[in-house]
Amino acid sequence: MTDITLPAALRDVEPVRSIRTPARLDYTFTAGAATSRFLRGIAERKILGERCGTCGKVILPPRGSCPIDGVPTTEQVELPDHGIVTTYCVVNVKFSGSAMELPYVCATVLPDGADMGLFGMIQEIPFDQIRMGMRVEAVWVPDDELTTDLASIRWWRPTGEPDAAYESYREHV
């Protein structure tokens, strides 16, 4: 690298080596009719999927149509707040706004009876003991903190039941 000759006034000061260049996008997210129904259920500790009348799959979170058949979903299905971890990742990098202690685990949780999983975090178990097929249940925030936000499910924790066999959820990985 070529030597840079600085003007006298700058020779004895701490040089600037990096700059902050944040990129910020301000959106208003509109949930749509089906996801609004789902989020109102969440505020009542209910997980509401919607069934496709053509293929019979229960879409979660519902978007109002079936992504396979492209037809409107026709039946609301209340699902239990327990299910299995179908896939997960260990998060080792802190990002702004997150108060989670590292490392922690993000997972896709498939409630029993659903054909699509919800995004969530797994807690109350060491991160290196989490596995695909592990049975988990939702840990909800206290009643007075429930809102129309998936954050009303604080995280998921193991139930201690035997793991589901891979064959039972291979369609959902």
Partner 1 sequence: MPDAKILSAPLVLEYPFSRTVGPVQGAFLTGLREGVVLGVRGVDGRVLCPPVEYDPVTSDELSELVELGEEGTVTTWAWEPAPRPSQPLDHPFAWALVRLDGADTGLLHALDAGSPDRVRTGMRVRIRWAAEREGAIADIACFEPAEDA
Query: Contact residues for partner 1 (CB under 8 A)?
Result: 1-7, 9-10, 13-33, 35-37, 39-40, 50, 76, 95-96, 148-149
1: which DSSP letter? -
50: exposed, middle or buried (Cβ count in 10 Å: 0-12, 13-18, 19+): buried
Q: Closer CB to partner 1, residue 7 or residue 70?
A: 7
Query: Which residues are registered as beta bridge partners of 140?
Result: 153
Q: Closer CB to partner 1, residue 91 or residue 125?
A: 91
Closest approach, Cβ 149 to partner 1, in A, equals: 8
Structure tokens at 158: 């193991």
Q: Closer CB to partner 1, residue 33 or residue 173?
A: 33
For residue 97, give the amino acid letter. G
Closest approach, Cβ 33 to partner 1, in A, equals: 5
Q: Closer CB to partner 1, residue 40 or residue 131?
A: 40
Which of 149, 99, 144 has its CA nearest to residue 123? 99
Closest approach, Cβ 47 to partner 1, in A, equals: 16
CA distances from 32 to 39, 71, 144 (A): 10, 16, 25
Measured in Å, how far apart are the chain's first and last C-alpha atoms? 50
Closest approach, Cβ 49 to partner 1, in A, equals: 12
